[in-house]
Amino acid sequence: MQKQLLTHINSPKELRTLKQDELPQLAIELREFIINIVATKEGHLGASLGVVELTIALHYVFNTPEDLLVWDVGHQAYGHKILTGRKNIFDTNRQLGGISGFPKREESVYDSFGVGHSSTSISATLGMAIASKLKGENKHHIAIIGDASIASGMAFEGLNHTGVTDANLLVVLNDNAIGIDPSVGALKQYLTNVKKGTQKRNNIIEALNFDYSGPIDGHDLEKIISELERLKTVKGPKLLHVITTKGKGLKQAENDQVKYHAPGKFDASTGDLLPKSGLIQPPKYQDVFGLTIVELAKQNEKIIGITPAMPTGSSLKYLMEEIPDRAFDVGIAEQHAVTLAAGMATQGLIPFCNIYSTFLQRAYDQVIHDVALQRLPVIFCLDRAGLVGEDGATHHGVFDLAYLRSIPNLIIFAPRNEVELRNIMYTAQLGLDQPIAIRYPRGRGVTIDWKQPFKPLDIGKGEQLKQGKQLAVLSIGAIAKNVTEAIIDLNVSHYDMRFVKPLDEVLLHNIFKTYHTIITVEDGTVKGGFGSTILEFASAYNYKNRIKTLGIPDNFVEHGKVEELQKLVGLDAESIRKFILSIQ
Ligand SMILES: Cc1ncc(C[n+]2csc(CCOP(=O)(O)OP(=O)(O)O)c2C)c(N)n1
Ligand SMILES: CC(=O)[C@@H](O)[C@H](O)COP(=O)(O)O
Ligand SMILES: [Mg+2]
């Protein structure tokens, strides 16, 4: 009976007591551990399976936590977490009250930097290396970054700066030739040629004053360990290029790397996904976007679709398949995506720029400087707006209403259902003379028969959904579903305001003159979001009504199921109902 190694490892210190020839066995056990837990608890699978050997080697060679590891994005750090004292609680991964799905400083001394958004690791690690030098400390600083993440602008900024320092910094480029979807761009081609040996010797990494080594097999423990040991003795900036396979060790995950990036529940013994429930359900908002843009693009040849590295997550993949020369995956490059769209708009094209709400934070200046200031009619589709669930604080799209609301010329719309999303997309492509941001949540909507004929919407017009006497509830976006449920038997009015900008002031004057108490509800921060707009309206017109704002409080919301998190912040139907009853 093979001796179990993983059971005895609760820290890298114990890992480092193993003989090197025991490490392949440890890799087998660690891979199995990850598969067994993610099969039932869900999460990011492929990336972590791809770096099992690399993770073991890094903690074996370097004296962690004194030597600092920074995992880029951090979705591949399940092995890191299991080896650094969280094995026995790893089954709480991404669950409310459990450990985060990404490295988090407050979770462990081994998590040197909080991650979740890509391409931050080189900058953060350089910061640590410069600090160590200034403090006279002699430690190693290692950034582990993927082939898609290193192609992002911020990663290049980190490389560019590192190259003119003598920082003791090692970048491990984990090259598996894929992001969530196949990685794109000239750098991808370059790395492919390097791997094939057909690349002329103009090594761009060496050109940036890095000591470049590799490419080596990222699953060959002996090779990685000996190369890491050698690199420990090399001064200054270094880059080790390792080749791995995303999903390594689970056949289905290797064969369908996109699906198994985050496969949901699957049979750990066979790797097969669990069968989907047969019942008819409303569509995912992303698919309403993805299928509708295909419908519209077929009728309007000016329509373009753009995604920064999320063709599957945004469902722009349908347009990429159907009309490939009018759909662009620009890689992890949100800033470039926005300004690319702006450039296209100057030439009369109609770009739908689809970016997750949280990732659009990366391109805030581009929205202001390159789009709104020039009043260019870019159509921003912000998927994953609001609480997203298990990805937690780094991924909740809860700031977009606040961070966009202060930008002049920008229309802001939030559909309460799939039909509204389709109709605003249809309306926007008819031709606007200014940009618009359309924000909608992760997951399914509420309408089974959603594919209804298009109807143009009046920009800036809200809608009454329910008539009552006691007070008025004003909601924005898909959270209307919870409000509808909350007030089902209450004598209160409910308005879907639909637009945060421009506000339906005619409707608002009517509401303020009719109801003493007004409650706003939004799946977004109350600090500067939709509720703040209503408060500003009341102040501007000297209304003395009682106004209460419900939304995300002024703190970061952790990970958990969306329903759990909505309850936590008081946005579930029951909490909304209780609140209304408490102030009637
Ligand atoms: C700024 C930002 N944009 C998009 C994402 C979504 N995202 C998560 S992982 C990933 C692909 C990362 O690919 P790579 O760097 O090659 O790492 P791998 O998964 O292959 O290990 C993307 C696009 C993100 N986390 N951050
Ligand atoms: C790790 C990362 O940033 C992405 O994989 C993100 O988790 C995708 O989110 P969705 O699952 O909502 O598409
Ligand atoms: Mg990759």
Percent of the chain with pLDDT over 70: 99
Q: Ligand 3: distance of its center to the CA of 174 in Å?
A: 7
CA distance linking residue 93 with residue 212, whole number of Å: 35
pLDDT in tens, 173-189: 999 999 999 999 999 99
Q: Which residues contact 236 (CB under 8 A, 6 or more apart)?
A: 165, 166, 167, 168, 209, 211
The residue whose CA has the least distance to atom 23 of ligand 1 is 309
pLDDT at 282: 98
The residue whose CA has the least distance to atom 17 of ligand 1 is 146
Question: What torsion, rounded to 10 degrees, do the Cα atoms 257, 258, 259, 265 define?
Answer: 70
Q: Which ligand 2 atom is nearest residue 102's CA? A: 1
Does residue 269 surpass a pLDDT of 80?
Answer: yes
345 is an annotated ligand-binding site residue: no
Does residue 201 surpass a pLDDT of 70?
Answer: no
Q: How confident is the model at residue 276 (pLDDT cuts 50, 70, 90)?
A: confident
Mean pLDDT over 522-538 rounds to: 98
Q: Is 334 a catalytic residue?
A: yes
Q: Ligand 1: distance of its center to the CA of 145 in Å?
A: 9
CA distance linking residue 197 with residue 524, whole number of Å: 50
Q: Which ligand 1 atom is nearest residue 147's CA? A: 16
211 is an annotated ligand-binding site residue: no
Distances (CA, A) of 35 to 52, 182, 210, 382, 432: 12, 23, 36, 32, 49
558 is an annotated ligand-binding site residue: no
Q: Residue 178: CB within 6 Å of ligand 1?
A: yes
Q: What are phi and psi of 237, to 5 degrees?
A: -70, 130
CA 543 to chain centre: 40
pLDDT in tens, 7-39: 999 999 999 999 999 999 999 999 999 999 999
Q: Which ligand 2 atom is nearest residue 391's CA? A: 7
Q: Residue 118: CB within 6 Å of ligand 1?
A: yes
Whose atoms come closest to the Cα of 286: which ligand?
A: 2
Q: Ligand 1: distance of its center to the CA of 108 in Å?
A: 22
Whose atoms come closest to the Cα of 263: which ligand?
A: 2
Indicate which residue of 42, 53, 334, 558 is catalytic. Answer: 334
Q: Residue 188: CB within 6 Å of ligand 1?
A: no
160 is an annotated ligand-binding site residue: no
Nearest of 449, 56, 404, 473 to residue 224 by alpha carbon: 56
pLDDT at 200: 73
pLDDT at 584: 82
Q: Ligand 3: distance of its center to the CA of 54 in Å?
A: 14
Taking all residues of the chain, what is their mean pLDDT, rounded to a whole number? 97
536 is an annotated ligand-binding site residue: no
Whose atoms come closest to the Cα of 42: which ligand?
A: 2
User: CB burial class (10 A; 0-12, 13-18, 19+) of residue 348?
Assistant: exposed
With the most atoms of ligand 2 within 8 angstroms of its CB, the residue from 259, 391, 444 to mutate is 391
What does pTM read for this prediction?
A: 0.98
Take residue 142 and report the two structure tokens written for it: 């290692």
Does residue 290 surpass a pLDDT of 80?
Answer: yes
Query: Hey, what domains does the chain have and what are their CATH numbers?
Result: 6-261 (3.40.50.970), 285-441 (3.40.50.970), 463-583 (3.40.50.920)
163 is an annotated ligand-binding site residue: no
pLDDT in tens, 430-454: 999 999 999 999 999 999 999 999 9
Whose atoms come closest to the Cα of 180: which ligand?
A: 1
Take residue 77 and report the two structure tokens written for it: 């750090």
CA 360 to chain centre: 10
| Phi-psi map region of 61: left, alpha, beta (phi>0 left; psi -120 to 50 alpha) | alpha
Q: Residue 180: CB within 6 Å of ligand 1?
A: yes
With the most atoms of ligand 2 within 8 angstroms of its CB, the residue from 51, 180, 181, 444 to mutate is 180
Using the structure block, give the residue that is written with the tokens 């080790």: 240
Q: Residue 332: CB within 6 Å of ligand 1?
A: yes
Q: Is 246 a catalytic residue?
A: yes
Amino acid at site 303: I
Q: Residue 117: CB within 6 Å of ligand 1?
A: yes
- The more confidently predicted of residues 160 and 203 is 160
pLDDT at 1: 63
Q: Ligand 1: distance of its center to the CA of 148 in Å?
A: 6
Whose atoms come closest to the Cα of 310: which ligand?
A: 1
The residue whose CA has the least distance to atom 6 of ligand 2 is 391
**Interior CA angle at 584 toward 463 and 507, to 5°?**
20
Q: Which ligand 2 atom is nearest residue 312's CA? A: 13
Nearest of 468, 386, 478 to residue 424 by alpha carbon: 478
Q: Ligand 3: distance of its center to the CA of 46 in Å?
A: 10
Mean pLDDT over 292-314 rounds to: 98
pLDDT in tens, 330-372: 999 999 999 999 999 999 999 999 999 999 999 999 999 999 9
Q: Ligand 2: distance of its center to the CA of 180 in Å?
A: 8
Q: Residue 47: CB within 6 Å of ligand 1?
A: yes
pLDDT in tens, 90-117: 999 999 999 999 999 999 999 999 999 9
406 is an annotated ligand-binding site residue: no
CA distance linking residue 181 with residue 258, whole number of Å: 6
In the DSSP assignment, the letter for residue 492 is -
CA distance linking residue 268 with residue 276, whole number of Å: 16
Does residue 2 surpass a pLDDT of 90?
Answer: no
The predicted complex's ipTM stands at 0.99
Task: List all residues whose CB is within 6 A of at least one atom of ligand 2.
Answer: 44, 73, 75, 180, 262, 313, 384, 388, 391, 442
Q: Ligand 2: distance of its center to the CA of 60 in Å?
A: 30
